[in-house]
Structure 1
Amino acid sequence: MIDPVDITFDPTLEAVEQAREIVQKTTRVTLLDSAKFLQKFTDGQVYLKCENMQRTGSYKIRGATYRLAQLSEEQRVRGVVAASAGNHAQGVAFAARELGIKATIFMPTGVPIPKLEATRNYGADVVLEGDDVAAALLGAQRFAEETGAVFIHPYNHPDIITGQGTLALDLYEQLPQIDTIIVPIGGGGLAAGLGATAKHLAEKTGQKVRVIGVQAENSAPFPVSVAEGHPVKIDAKPTIADGIAVDVPGSLSFELVRKYVDEIVTVSEDDISRAILLLLERAKLVVEAAGATTVAAIIAGKIKESGNTVAVLSGGNIDPMMLEKVIASGLTASERYMKLNIGLRDTPGHLARIAAILADINANVIEVLHTRHNKGLQIQEVELEIAVETRGSDHAAQVLERLREAGYNPRVDPNASL
């Protein structure tokens, strides 16, 4: 059934260390990799904590394993139920299989097929319910009340938070001197557990550490909640970072985030797309949108810390169809793809002349539409719509400058995407 939450809970270092003895049975110590390509954005050294390489593809297995391990024998017999669009579902399903517990997972009807199949393959019974996670959550809670199954909350439970805190223990063993940790925030379970544990570890060793949380600006209840002093429900907008898309913080996680997270910043959809693309190209890492928000905050100039900074890549479960869209969006946001509209007199030679200008500065033409039928064109006018691949913002500016020098007036389509 659904447990009441004690908002006075605060995970001790001893509790997290004991939790790791259990959690390490289902998890691996993931790579902590130096990211020199991010140094130009900061005043220090950046490291990537690759929880996208964790078993089940995200850190969620940590909290799920510890939560299920704490169930009594009678609760295990009743089984567990959870609601999720992906990472929490897979974490609970995997942990339940390893511990011999029956798991039922409610997922939205539109859940990406890879996440659905992975959850089923870990042995869980999957029930498709509603159009979003909120509807699936109601279904899971109703199932818990009707059957007696134990509801496993994705973030607002002491055991979940304690389990997520084990990530900080791994970090400090891999890099004993950490000045800043950047962590994605959705409901706040990871930020609460990691933040508390990192602060306790730093205090124990006589160090200081800043913990900075990142939310997608389309779904960011924590900044306003912290300002108001209590959890505030917002009118969230859709975001590609669906793994951290919440409209209200958890009551327990909120208190711990407010206590242990020093700063919370937000990032745009374009920032996130650029980060995913950069991680693919430079680090050769596949990272989901929620997990890439930490790098998005760095490249957007939101975080410029000195010393050793660790950016937590919280997961890598990105749907291939979404990845295709995000790559296209990232190329556009990075000005490596743009669509130009150029008005011309309807006389021969303009198309060839423009093509020659673009070829001369090594801009690759992807698509061309030469039309007389757009609205607003006069009898002797045509419009050239031309999609161009460039090498980035400086090269894109050069393309526009050369065309203008040649007497043309190119207009950039701000809504263009591959």
Structure 2
Amino acid sequence: MRPMFSKEDLSVQDLATGVQNANNNICKHVVRTPVIRLPWLDSEEREVWAKLECHQHTGSFKYRGAYNALSRTKTNKIITASAGNHALATAAAGRRLGKDVHLIAPITASELKVNRMMADAEVTLLGQDLHEATLMAISLAQKSAIQTADETETLYYVSPYDNVDVAAGAGTVMLEAEEDHGVFDTVVVPLGGGGLAAGVGAWCAHNSPRTNVVCTHPEIFGRKFAKSEPIASQLVSPTAVSYSDGLAVQLARETPFARILQETIRDVVQVTEAETAVAISIALRMQSLLIEGSAATTIAALLKPEAPETRHIKGRVLLLLTGGNIASSSLARSLVSEVSDAPLRQAIGLRNILPSVDRCGSTKLPVEDVGEQKLDASKEKASDSGDGARALADDTTSSLEQWQVFSDRLQAMIKATAEQMQEKDELSARLCLEQDPWCKDVYNELQQVLYRRAKEFEAAVKTPPSSCQESQVPKFWVMEERYRILLQQHSAVACLFDRASAANDQSLRDWFRDFDSQSATVCNYDRYGSSRLRATEQVLAKALALGDTSGTELLLTSSGMAAYQVVQHFLLQSIGDKGNFVLPPYVYFEGMEQLQAFDFVTVTHAPTFDAQDIIATAEAVDAKVVFLDAVANVVDLPATDVRDFCRTVAHRPGWGDRIVVMDGTTASGAMPVFDWMQGRHAPTLLYFESASKYLQFGMDLQMGGLVVYPSRLDAAMRTIRRNTGGVMYSRGLSLLPPLDRAAYQRRMAQLSRNAEVLRDGIAAAASDLVHVRFPSEWKRFGWRHGGALVTVRFLRDGLNNKDGLEACIDLVLAGAKAKGLAVTKGVSFGFSTTRISSASSMAKDSDPFLRLSVGVDLETRQDLLEVMVAAIRRYADTF
């Protein structure tokens, strides 16, 4: 059968009629692909939709044209030239229609695509590129026409670009879209050889003339689509390697669609390779759509709203996502492509991935290690880091001895709980109060189980190593897990009869557990705290050792953010009408969000984390409040010399009326900061940190926080905690492990040592691929330790994205499993087992990075190093 029109007489109306006829011909044989909303591409002036031809047979719109053309020809032998979607579509349509298909592909075609084509057709590799392969296919068809008299046995060449039946079949995508969802103001169409654009343009011009047709084209091809030049004239020039290989068309002969293209296409938007890569990535991230580069150019066009060719794209906009046959290597490259536009990086998830809200609270972080910029080594005194040095040198106390101490303390806690219950029972008996025997039985059963299990734990940790085989001594993680369970059991027993609002007195009925509540003359709300809470706060103050010679108080709260709330309420009560706050380049985002919500607070960021820069900024703006972060929880872990800051401002006129707020979460208990802040002009120092990290000895039992402040503020601080409801309640209080200063500082020193060893090892083995950071300045700054965090940032920026880093973490976990090494994945830090995460919810202007909270195990340090280096190299090599 002859094509419906000749090249000489083809008009817009002819091709539009051909589209309608093609639809009648193929509608029962193709997928009526869905049209969906893409709200993440919307703006105030446009509403974006997409037709998913990536869900069509053989993965692209090409099946429409191939089936239409093959079904309309009498010949049983088909030849075409293609290395991609047209070849796959023609082969599949030929098999379905019972026709023999011979595909000519260039010798450069990928083996994967060739193997896929061979499943349905005969494949011959000819020519260095698609242009040469096309010329050879046309030549073979022409020779066949001369040599073969029988029309049904003649080789019929089906061009993907200038065959009218192919173009008409392709144009049915627009017919379907408008039938299903009405008329669109603009349709965005990838421009390759012009067949699809002509079919869509003709249909729109004839049936919905108000619809603008905008085409997209790879800029890398070097073509110029000037208004004065025919569009088709540009399609004869050579192409280049591109993500959009489906658009890499160099026409081998005159196209019948030149006039139609010129009459129906409003603009051609040129998109770069980087923009196309981003579009592939964003479709997958935002819509779970796997699309090829050709289709992605339509999304890329909307990602450049300031371009002259796209400013008019308004109203209801339809994108034709023409295919989904993307090579895995192209997909991988797109996911780690470098994107320089900061807002776009955030929009597509390459940085600052957060739940539901747009986080705030940072300025551009310096790449250099600002902690070393202004260090005067001659001023450092070795004696100031004596505690840290001694702790690092002290390996005499084994982990078994630690658990022996903890076991003794647990036994004491169990005994104290039993004695308190005995006192309560005796008082209840004297007062003739009703008690339910069934409840008492439950308590006794729980108490007996706890007592028995605690004795088993005691026996396990107190067995002399010399009297048993090494394999019989429980491993550290086993001890930790068992102790964690015992603390939970003890908490259940201790709190079984607790009341949130205990009675002061009563007749007949029991409504208290704590004996002290019976003599209280104030409100017994658990929110007000208890004698147990006060005792625990004093123990933690000694363990942290933030100031041995100055009068301070410690306040426990239900979380780190609750601790911050207490501090913030105090600040707001203290600043009056002078709301100038100075912050380092980054503070924890949830705190920053709250500060920025107050219109009477002016926030100024210091240019760096350097102590002297922060001081200078505070003085320049006459700040009332100054924030410090010992180690900022961002990619380079920038550290501030807190000692230098404190010793400077404590003797500097004008600082006595200021308030300094320090977040010590990342370096818990690392320094005697209140001792350093001593001097005639010393400002008021408020210290807070999360108690759900290091302070729980890695057991991760609950949320928690604490605030430390001068004793003179105690009444005000406790009132704020009470009124904000931020207290650590009895249940949480009973879950805290029994810490002491020696055990805590020893643990922190070991974590710090392990982290530093890992940092040094990765830097030595993979410095060509990554920048790895640990705040090693801690020794020079006079701290006891530097915390347990290590960060890894890939030197190639494109690798620092959430999805890629998740893949890298998968490699770490697989390698760890193969070595029998325990590693967990997740946020937070301070655990005994090494934890890794792709940190992305920190600074708004910072890309994701790998963050490790290094564990306590000495024996596995080398294995962890080997696993990390192997994963880093494999990830970098893969992408």
Q: Give TM-score, length-normalised by structure 1.
A: 0.78
Preserved contact between residue 271 and residue 301 of structure 2 (Cα < 8 Å): yes
- Provide Cα deviations, 1:293-320, integer angstroms capped at 9, x if missing partner: 0000001224342221001101111111
Q: Percent identity?
A: 25
Give the residue type in structure 2 aligned to 1:287.
I
In structure 1, list runs of 5 or more residues that go unmatched. 375-383, 400-415
Instruction: Decide whether aligned partners of structure 1 residues 247 and 125 sit closer, same or farther in structure 2, where only a CA change above 3 A counts.
Output: closer
Instruction: Decide whether aligned partners of structure 1 residues 47 and 231 sit closer, same or farther in structure 2, where only a CA change above 3 A counts.
Output: same
Preserved contact between residue 220 and residue 246 of structure 1 (Cα < 8 Å): no
Identify which range, 174-183 or 16-25, moves more after superposition: 16-25
- Provide Cα deviations, 1:119-174, integer angstroms capped at 9, x if missing partner: 222x2101122332112212312322333411111111221211111111101111
Cα deviation, residue 231, structure 1: 1.3
Cα deviation, residue 118, structure 1: 2.6
Question: Matches of 1:386 and 1:22 in 2, distance apart?
Answer: 54
**Correspondent of 1:273 among 252, 261, 277:** 277
Preserved contact between residue 215 and residue 293 of structure 1 (Cα < 8 Å): yes
Question: Matches of 1:323 and 1:16 in 2, distance apart?
Answer: 33
1:218 aligns with 2:214: no
Q: 1:17-416 residue pairs with structure 2 within 5 A? A: 17-40=20-43, 43-72=45-74, 76-77=75-76, 79-121=77-119, 123-148=120-145, 149-203=155-209, 208-219=210-221, 221=223, 223-224=225-226, 227-229=228-230, 231-232=233-234, 233-248=236-251, 251-301=255-305, 302=307, 303-304=310-311, 305-329=313-337, 335=345, 336=350, 360-361=633-634, 369=763, 387=795, 389=800, 397=845
Give the residue type in structure 1 aligned to 2:633.
D
Question: Matches of 1:320 and 1:358 in 2, distance apart?
Answer: 40
Question: Matches of 2:338 and 2:57 in 1, distance apart?
Answer: 27
Question: Matches of 1:222 and 1:97 in 2, distance apart?
Answer: 40
Cα deviation, residue 245, structure 1: 1.1
Larger Rg: 2
Secondary structure at 1:270 match in 2: helix
- Provide Cα deviations, 1:49-97, integer angstroms capped at 9, x if missing partner: 100111011111111111112213xxx13x1100111111011111111
Question: Matches of 2:793 and 2:317 in 1, distance apart?
Answer: 44
Preserved contact between residue 189 and residue 215 of structure 2 (Cα < 8 Å): yes
Preserved contact between residue 277 and residue 330 of structure 1 (Cα < 8 Å): no
Preserved contact between residue 131 and residue 251 of structure 2 (Cα < 8 Å): no
Secondary structure at 2:337 match in 1: helix
Identify which range, 158-167 or 11-20, moves more after superposition: 11-20
Cα deviation, residue 330, structure 1: 5.7
Instruction: Decide whether aligned partners of structure 1 residues 198 and 357 sit closer, same or farther in structure 2, where only a CA change above 3 A counts.
Output: farther
- Provide Cα deviations, 1:391-417, integer angstroms capped at 9, x if missing partner: 79x957457xxxxxxxxxxxxxxxx99
Question: Matches of 2:170 and 2:15 in 1, distance apart?
Answer: 13
Instruction: Decide whether aligned partners of structure 1 residues 84 and 358 sit closer, same or farther in structure 2, where only a CA change above 3 A counts.
Output: farther
Question: Matches of 1:31 and 1:178 in 2, distance apart?
Answer: 15
Question: Matches of 1:329 and 1:236 in 2, distance apart?
Answer: 22
Question: Matches of 1:324 and 1:192 in 2, distance apart?
Answer: 33
Question: Matches of 1:166 and 1:130 in 2, distance apart?
Answer: 32
Instruction: Decide whether aligned partners of structure 1 residues 187 and 396 sit closer, same or farther in structure 2, where only a CA change above 3 A counts.
Output: farther
Give the residue type in structure 1 aligned to 2:201.
G
Instruction: Decide whether aligned partners of structure 1 residues 396 and 237 sit closer, same or farther in structure 2, where only a CA change above 3 A counts.
Output: farther
Question: Matches of 1:212 and 1:132 in 2, distance apart?
Answer: 28
State the structure with bigger RCO (CA 8 A, min sep 6), 1 or 2: 1
Secondary structure at 1:82 match in 2: strand
Secondary structure at 1:16 match in 2: helix
Preserved contact between residue 103 and residue 125 of structure 1 (Cα < 8 Å): yes
Instruction: Decide whether aligned partners of structure 1 residues 290 and 322 sit closer, same or farther in structure 2, where only a CA change above 3 A counts.
Output: same
Instruction: Decide whether aligned partners of structure 1 residues 44 and 137 sit closer, same or farther in structure 2, where only a CA change above 3 A counts.
Output: same
**Correspondent of 1:16 among 16, 19, 25:** 19
Preserved contact between residue 368 and residue 385 of structure 1 (Cα < 8 Å): no
Secondary structure at 1:139 match in 2: helix
Secondary structure at 1:214 match in 2: strand
Secondary structure at 1:26 match in 2: coil
Question: Matches of 2:22 and 2:135 in 1, distance apart?
Answer: 29
Identify which range, 241-250 or 2-11, moves more after superposition: 2-11
Secondary structure at 2:269 match in 1: strand
Preserved contact between residue 369 and residue 636 of structure 2 (Cα < 8 Å): no
- Provide Cα deviations, 1:2-59, integer angstroms capped at 9, x if missing partner: 999614312344332221121223311101010111114x621100110011101111
- Provide Cα deviations, 1:276-299, integer angstroms capped at 9, x if missing partner: 000001110100001110000001
Cα deviation, residue 199, structure 1: 1.9
Preserved contact between residue 187 and residue 253 of structure 1 (Cα < 8 Å): no
Preserved contact between residue 341 and residue 385 of structure 1 (Cα < 8 Å): no
- Provide Cα deviations, 1:189-215, integer angstroms capped at 9, x if missing partner: 100001110221114xxxx11110110
Q: How many residues align?
A: 372
Question: Matches of 1:332 and 1:323 in 2, distance apart?
Answer: 19
Cα deviation, residue 234, structure 1: 3.1
Instruction: Decide whether aligned partners of structure 1 residues 222 and 169 sit closer, same or farther in structure 2, where only a CA change above 3 A counts.
Output: farther
Residue 405 of structure 1: aligned partner: none
Residue 409 of structure 1: aligned partner: none
Residue 411 of structure 1: aligned partner: none
Instruction: Decide whether aligned partners of structure 1 residues 385 and 51 sit closer, same or farther in structure 2, where only a CA change above 3 A counts.
Output: closer
Residue 530 of structure 2: aligned partner: none
Cα deviation, residue 221, structure 1: 4.0
Instruction: Decide whether aligned partners of structure 1 residues 128 and 359 sit closer, same or farther in structure 2, where only a CA change above 3 A counts.
Output: farther
Secondary structure at 1:181 match in 2: strand
Preserved contact between residue 83 and residue 130 of structure 2 (Cα < 8 Å): yes
- How large is the Cα RMSD of the aligned pairs? 3.8
Preserved contact between residue 221 and residue 246 of structure 1 (Cα < 8 Å): no
Secondary structure at 1:309 match in 2: strand
Cα deviation, residue 251, structure 1: 2.4
Could you say which structure has the higher strand fraction? 1
Instruction: Decide whether aligned partners of structure 1 residues 81 and 358 sit closer, same or farther in structure 2, where only a CA change above 3 A counts.
Output: farther
Question: Matches of 1:105 and 1:357 in 2, distance apart?
Answer: 66
Give the residue type in structure 1 aligned to 2:221.
S
Question: Matches of 2:237 and 2:844 in 1, distance apart?
Answer: 38
